[in-house]
Chains A and B, each alone.
Chain A
Amino acid sequence: MISPAITSTRPRAAWTAALPVIAAGALIAYGLTSSGYIATVLGFAAIYGVFCTGLNFFMGYTGQASFGQNAFAALGGYGSAILTDRLGLEPVLAILASMSIAGIVALVVGYPTLRLRGHYLAMATFALGLITYEITIEWTSLTHGYMGYSGIPPLGLFGYELANEKQQLVALVVIALFGVWISNRLRNSRFGRALRAIAGSEAAAAALGINVARYKLAAFVIAALYASVAGSLFAHFIGFISPEVFGTAMVVLSFTMLYLGGIGTTWGPLVGALIASLIPEVLRSTLPGGLKEGQDIVYCAILILILIFVPKGLSSLGSLWQARRSAVREG
Chain B
Amino acid sequence: MALLNVQGVTKRFGGLVANDSISFAVPEGSLFAVIGPNGAGKTTLFNAISGFFAPTSGRILFDGQDVTGLAQADIAQRGLIRTYQLVQLFKDMTVAENVQVGFHRMTSGNVGAALLRGAGFRRQEEHIREETRSLLTFVGLGNRADVMADTLPYGQQRLLEVARALAAQPRLLLLDEPAAGLNTQETDALADTILRINARGVTVVLIEHDMGLVMKVAQRIAVLDFGRKIAEGTPAEIRSDPAVIAAYLGTEAEHA
Contacts and interface: CB of A to CB of B under 8 A. Distances in A.
Contacts of A208: 76, 81, 101-102, 104-105, 164-165, 168
A294 interface: no
Contacts of A207: 50, 72, 76, 81-84, 88, 165
Contact of B88 (A182, A186, A203, A210): A203
A190 B113 contact: yes
Contacts of B84: 203-204, 207
Q: Which of B92, B93, B125, B164 has the most CB of A within 10 A?
A: B92
Size bracket, chain A contacts: 20 to 34
Interface of A: 1-2, 4, 7-9, 182, 185-186, 188-194, 196-197, 199-201, 203-212, 218, 222, 264
Task: Tell me whether chain A's interface is mostly helix, strand or loop, or mixed.
Answer: helix
B160 to A, nearest CB: 11
Contact of A200 (B91, B117, B124, B168): B91
A7 B82 CA distance: 27
Nearest to A199: B92
Contact of B114 (A9, A191, A199, A204): A191
Given A8-B146, A218-B110, A211 B92 contact: no
B57 interface: no
B189 to A, nearest CB: 23
Contact of B93 (A9, A190, A196): A196
B30 interface: no
Contacts of B125: 189
Nearest to B145: A9
Contacts of A205: 101
B94 interface: yes
Interface string B91-114: 111100100111111011111011
B88 A194 contact: no
